[in-house]
Amino acid sequence: MSSATAVRRLNLLTRTIGTGTRIGSMKHRVTVIGSGNWGSAIAKIVAENTKANPDVFHEEVKMFVHSGPQNLTSIINCIHENPKYLPGITLPTNLFATPSLPDAVSEASVLIFNVPHQFVSSICRQINGSCLPYARAISCIKGVDVSPDGISLFSDTIGRKLGIYCGALSGANIASEVAAEKFSETTVAYAPPEGSTHDFPQGLTPVPEELPAVDHVLFRTLFHRPYFHVRVVSDVAGVSLGGALKNIVALAAGFVDGLEWGDNAKAAVMRVGLLEMRKFGKMFFSQSCRSATFTEESCGVADLITSCNGGRNHKCAMLSVRTGKSIETVESEELNGQKLQGTITAREVNVYLKNKGLEDEFPLFTAVYRILNGETKVESLPQLIETD
């Protein structure tokens, strides 16, 4: 952390304590960073719950919007709808869109990240020095952060770059269905090393005692709705990896459906994919990842089933095979400006596995990468994933 950033964070903490406006009120302020279809759906849930729990949260929720030529921020605040990414869904009147990241985060003690994972580093650079030093975060981002130094979770990346603790949320959650209040469930993972300096050399700034405790109960209160059931666990690695790696498997399922090979073939791909997801977690995050998370929680097998049948990665892979177009062309035609996370994750994971000499240990992940890269044909998938 630079000296200038440290001074800004100290000023924020001093201002908070000095005015008493936030600590004295004994309530958390919540900000959602991201306004795509999933970001808007989560913001809707959060705003409903802050209004329903005025003893714990300030009612107003801010949502950061990267406004384009149409000035999406003004449109959302005027009609209480996100017509670009979540048309036809009424957003709560206590949800306020803002195009300014510093304004969005400056008073928030709870930050919810919901942006495409390729923008995380840029977002954190813009936020650094503006967020409260005792803020806590939840990442809804589905991907892994690959660098020459290795592979890490985006929850860890956010925490490291901002000097705060970040948990994760992931589950069988198609945004349009959640926003329409069709029943679903999700998994929230939160296990901060309170008082520990292992992950943060300078230590975590404690949440002021006057504020409600930031724990499993608080996050269930913030996210649980009658139509959106929440289980809170401590396995941040398992929840994060489930959300990231299932997108690679969903591409494979889409390839299979594009060839019209039937349900048996797709089930086989999903079985192999689930095993590779669990193996990846235990191999590279052995100290924190629980195998049971992939089979018992919504973020694991449930999310895999949903993504392999109705998610955008499955859809674009299927249409790519059926039309003969590249998956990038299908993405641009079908997703209204949003991006596939599966293709990026597949390529990043392969870079890591190749550097480790472990491509053969993950035949499905490797096959998907090679199909995307034009190195092999979709029809070769059964042979590529066959093992002794």
Per residue in 120-162, pLDDT (tens digit) is 999 999 998 899 999 999 999 988 888 767 889 999 999 999 9
Residue 5 has pLDDT above 60, yes or no: no
320 and 326 in contact (C-beta within 8 Å)?
Answer: yes
For residue 180, give both structure tokens. 């329409």
Q: What is the mean pLDDT of residues 323-348?
A: 92
Confidence of residue 67 (pLDDT cuts 50, 70, 90): confident
pLDDT at 272: 97
Where is the binding site for substrate, in residues?
142, 312-313
Report the catalytic residues: 246
pTM score above 0.85: yes
Q: What is the mean pLDDT of residues 320-324?
A: 96
Where is the binding site, in residues?
34-39, 119, 142, 175, 312-313, 339, 341
3-state SS class at 82? strand
For residue 217, give the nearest of 229, 196, 232 by alpha carbon: 232
CA distance linking residue 275 with residue 216, whole number of Å: 29
80 and 61 in contact (C-beta within 8 Å)?
Answer: no
Helices 312-323 and 327-334: crossing angle, nearest 10°? 120
Q: Which residue has the tokens 């198609």?
A: 174
- Cβ count near 63 (within 10 Å): 29
Q: What is the mean pLDDT of residues 70-77?
A: 90
Q: Which helix H or strand E contains 203, and what residues bound it?
A: none
Kindly provide the residue ranges of all beta strands, DSSP E only, lying in 46-164, ordered along the sequence: 57-64, 95-98, 110-113, 136-139, 144-147, 150-153
CA distance linking residue 358 with residue 355, whole number of Å: 8
Q: Which residue has the tokens 């859809």?
A: 315
Task: Give tens-digit pLDDT for 157-195.
Answer: 999 999 999 999 999 999 999 999 999 999 999 998 754
For residue 73, give the nearest of 45, 115, 40 by alpha carbon: 40
CB-count burial class (<10 Å; 0-12, 13-18, 19+) for 77: middle
Residue 3 has pLDDT above 70, yes or no: no
Residue 274 has pLDDT above 70, yes or no: yes
Q: Give whichever of 2-6, 128-132, 294-298 has the largest mean pLDDT.
A: 294-298
267 and 283 in contact (C-beta within 8 Å)?
Answer: no
Kindly list the structural domains of the chain, giving each domain's residue range(s) and its CATH number in brackets, ordered by start.
3-234 (3.40.50.720), 244-384 (1.10.1040.10)
CA atoms within 13 Å, Cβ hemisphere of 345: 28
5 and 129 in contact (C-beta within 8 Å)?
Answer: yes
